[in-house]
Structure 1
Amino acid sequence: MPEPMLVTIAASLASRAVAGLYELVRARFADDPVATAALTAAEGAAEGSPEVRALGEALERTIEADPAFGAELRAHHAVTQSGRVTNQISGTVHGNAVQAGDIQGGVTFK
């Protein structure tokens, strides 16, 4: 059974909640048809589903073979929240940006 964090990441992948994370995993799985099949099968599946658990197990196997990939996944974990809005800004930002989950009312930049 994969560690709970990997199941949470797998659930985020299934819902494509974090696009950069999905692309990272999809690219890493590109040469592994079994892991790619697990990623595809989990798409849209519920967090506790067998498909998400299988994806978590595929992540675990990949991390065991490639610890650097595991470190990169764990770095993304800080912005992965099941059932929440997840924002990610990278690179140089010019101008205003706001990252938020729930906003009641408007947002004004001055």
Structure 2
Amino acid sequence: MPEPVLVSIAASLATRAVAGLYELVRARFAGDPAAIAALTAAEGAPPDSPQVHALGEVLGRAAATDPRFGEELRRAHEQAGVAQTGRVTNQISGTVHGNVLQAGDIQGGVSFR
């Protein structure tokens, strides 16, 4: 069973929520057809799916084989502010002019006046 953080990273990869994280993993998996297959199979899958868990296991093996990659993977995940599966993290960067709404689930209307 993969570490929860690796499942969270796998879920982020499945949705391509963090482009830099996806590119880091894709580059690391470039010479490994089975790892690329796991990454591809997880694309668009729900966070609790078998495909995401399988990708988490592949990430765990890659991190164990290459501790530097494991550290870089965790650091990139942490810097991106990606939350554990089932939670929401919102980020805004750069200059913002106007209204901004950050939310997980909204039930009802939203109005800016």
TM-score range, shorter-chain basis?
0.7 to 0.9
36-45 vs 68-77, greater mean Cα deviation: 68-77
TM-score, structure 2 normalization:
0.76
Shift of the 34–71 alpha-carbon distance from structure 1 to 2, 3 Å rule, reads: same
Q: What is aligned with 1:10?
A: 10
Unpaired runs of 5+ residues, structure 1, are: 90-95, 106-110
Q: Deviations over 1:53-92 (max 9, x none)?
A: 00000000100110000000110222223554456x7xxx
Offset at residue 41 of structure 1 (A): 0.1
Q: CA RMSD in A?
A: 2.4
TM-score, structure 1 normalization:
0.77
Unpaired runs of 5+ residues, structure 2, are: 104-109
Q: Deviations over 1:23-76 (max 9, x none)?
A: 000000000111100000000000010000000000001001100000001102
Paired with 1:5 and 1:101, the residues of 2 have a C-alpha distance of 27
How many residue pairs match? The answer is 98
1:66-105 matches, cutoff 5 A: 66-78=66-78, 79-81=81-83, 83-85=88-90, 96-97=94-95, 102=102
The ranges of structure 1 where at least 4 consecutive aligned residues each deviate by more than 3 angstroms after the TM superposition are 82-87
What is the identity percentage for the equivalent residue pairs of Structure 1 and Structure 2? 59
